[in-house]
Structure formats: structure tokens, C-alpha cells
Amino acid sequence: MSRKYFGTDGIRGRVGDYPITPEFVMKLGWAAGKVLSQTGTRKVLIGKDTRVSGYMLESALEAGLSAAGLQAALLGPMPTPAIAYLTRTFRAEAGIVISASHNPYYDNGIKFFSHDGTKLPDEVELAIEALLEQPMDCVPSEQLGKATRINDAAGRYIEFCKSTFPSEMHLDGLKVVIDCAHGATYHIAPAVFEELGAQVIRTGVQPNGFNINDKVGSTAPQALIEAVLSHKADLGIAFDGDGDRLMMVDHTGALVDGDEVLYIMARDAHQRGTLGGGVVGTLMSNMALELALAKRGIPFARAKVGDRYVLELLKEYGWKLGGENSGHIISLDHNTTGDGIVAALQVLRAMVGDRRSLQALRGELILFPQVLVNVRFDAGSDPLASSEVQRRVVEAEAELAGAGRVLLRKSGTEPLIRVMVEGADQAQVGRLAHYIAEAVA
């Protein structure tokens, strides 16, 4: 069955436009409360990023949950992976994240974690959607849920992150730039790396409700690159607005993307004998990653784009490590969802353990040129069904002659067609990507 409201990462849109309205979100809290009441704790954790609309949506969810008879435990601004972790440790019915991740401040969204800290299965999302079509009711007054605040949530998560780094190692002597995108990691990530011994230069740590992801963070890494070079830092780490993805920069200012982070983590875990199988990437993962892992005898599988699909394939194969080139990295040894801080710590573990720079570690993987062109489309249209688009794809694949890939897909969160072409020749790849994108447009 198709879903009416839920996309690949919860429900997302522009604040004030349906469904990101107070009325809808209150009813969503009620419907979710009815469906997710399974463990008997009758407690749901609510965390958010730093968008100004978070206050309004938090209150709406709180009202809906109360009407369903559930307690709302408010965490305040917290990274998405922290909410997954805390949902498990508090044995809560569910965790709710108010965030639009890497989007601008005027967007927001709602996503859910089940009691075990994983994304909701499709059938649960469908059950919530079915209740949204029903009239909202309210439990008797004596059964209404209360709201509480968990004041030590940040400290709990900081200690968890530090626990994923070996106790016998430290980051003394490393100068690290941390860019928090004026988002949910602003009061957490710098403390994690400082307490492990690093000298931290902070940027993107002054949220005002409107500046989240604005020319900072993992989707705008130029600010991080400039900071690393100006401070002569050993490396830089940028998170997105909700802290579930990262990008890194080596001391020369070169960007280190999710594929390279995934390779460094897989190589290190494989050397230590803790990888536990293979690695899951996505349809967007660079061919060079697959080939480099194969040279080390590490199996590789591709999931559909979206961290929920990476997680599904990891569970199917019984593997532990997967991710996307956008910087979503899942390490099931540590957390149940993508965690930017934890992934960065695993890269630093490899650096400290091998006594090598980030530049040296990433140098083992030479990525193929990959050009991605985003093309907006109107609702109700289907550019991928166009015979002209299909003809140009066939032409491009023939020209690449097996030494590259063409991928067209619809975004799960925006009205975009993503046209990706990958191959050994940068000029050829760029020309073919724009040739196909013209037909899509």
C-alpha cells in the first residue's frame, strides 16, 4: 500500500503548509500514541533540532499524546541518533524527532523510532495513517498523559558517544574543527571531542532558530574547509542539522565524503577482525568503494537510497556496517541509526590506531568522478516515464560501455529527480549527466 503522509524519513514539509501544521501534528501525536502503546511504559520521548518551529510542533505532539493517554518526556534540542539511543535506555514506547535534517529552517518534519530505537516498519506507519483518517477522541481525564522534562539527556548521550571510543586511546595533540550547522549537536559534539583530549575549534554552534544549515554544516562544507585551513587543523568534522550525518575534511582542505568514511571504518574493523561480514552501501555509492572493498575481500551490497533501506539490508544479511555517500553511516555495533558523532569517532580511532593522517587513510580510495544533477518536477508528472529520457539514458550507458553507471531516481523528501552519472572521465560524466537532465527538465 502507498503511504499518504510518510516519506522515506518520516513526514516533512514547509511549516504552516499541510501537513506541517499544529492541527495535523496534534492529531499525528494522538494517532501515533494509539498505535505505539505496546510496552506498557506509556512514555514517549520527544526531541528536536534548533528550528524556531520546534517549540510549536513539540507542544502539538505533547497535546496529542496526552489525549491518547501517553506521557511526553521532553529532551529539548538533541541529535536524532541521541533520541534513538535514549528511547532504548529509557525503555520508552517510542521516540519522536522534530527535525527536517539538512533542510532550511522554514521546513520541519516528524519522524519516529520504535521502542528498540529503529525506524518504524511500513505496516506501523500505515496503521498510524489509517487512524489519521478517523475522528480524534480523548481518554478520560484520569487517564490523560503528563509531560516531564529529562534534564540530563545531553550528558547521557555525551557519555554514550565517548564509550564508543577505546578507553585506552585519546585524542591528545589533535586539533579538530567541529561544525555543528547551528543544529542539534551544538552543545554535544564539541564536548565529546574535547573530553577525549582534542583541541576543538567550534563553528556553527550559535543557533537562533533561523540559521540551521545556513552556509554551514555537512551540506555546505566550504565553511569547514576554510576553518581547517585558517586554523591549520589536523582535520574538520561537519554535521547536519540533526546530527545523523557527517562530512570530514583532511588537513589539506580536501573533502572526505560518506563513501570514504565508510571505507576507512570498514578497513579498520576488517583489520581488527570486528567487521562481522560485509558492508551495505546504496545505489548512489561510488563504484570505487565497491572495488576497493573487493580487493580486501570484503563483500558489498547496494540498498535503495535512504538509511532505512540500508538498515533493512544490514539486518537481512546479519552485517553491522553500512551507509550513504551523503554521510549517513550506520554502525550497529554502537547505535541503531545513522550517527555522525559516532562515525567520526570511528575514523579517529583508525587514525590514532594506525598513527596516520586522515589524508593518508583516505588516499587508499580514489573515487570515480560522479556528477549529480537535481531537477525539480511538478506533482502528478512522471519524467522517468518519458521516452526521450529513456532514450538518452540508453545512449549514455552505451557510451560508458560498462565503465560507469547511470542512475535516475526520485527524492524521497523533495519533488526532485536526481540524475547521477559516474565513470572514469570527469568531462564525459558531466556532459552525459546534463544531457539526460535536459530531457528530464
Distances (CA, A) of 271 to 7, 311, 332, 350: 38, 23, 18, 10
CA distance 97 to 244: 12
* Residue 107 known to bind ligand: no
CA distance 255 to 226: 11
CA distance 282 to 289: 11
Per annotation, catalytic residue among 101, 218, 326, 331: 101
Cell of 150: 529529562
Q: Is 18 exposed, middle or buried (0-12, 13-18, 19+ CB in 10 A)?
A: exposed
* Residue 214 known to bind ligand: no
Q: Which residue's entry shows cell 524521497?
A: 412
Per the DSSP assignment, residues forming a β-bridge with 113 are: 95, 119
* Residue 114 known to bind ligand: no
CB 158 within 8 A of CB 192: yes
- The phi, psi pair for 82, rounded to 5°, reads -65, -40
CA distance 158 to 161: 5
Distances (CA, A) of 123 to 110, 129, 400, 426: 17, 10, 40, 43
CB 222 within 8 A of CB 238: no
Q: DSSP alpha helices (H): ranges in 304-364? A: 307-317, 340-354, 358-362
Residue length of the chain: 441
Strands, DSSP E only, in 211-344?
Answer: 235-239, 246-250, 255-256, 279-282, 300-303, 321-323, 329-331
Query: Does residue 163 have an active-site annotation?
Result: no
* Residue 250 known to bind ligand: no
Residues forming the annotated binding site? Answer: 101, 240, 242, 244
Catalytic residues: 101
Query: Annotated binding residues for Mg(2+), as ranges?
Result: 101, 240, 242, 244
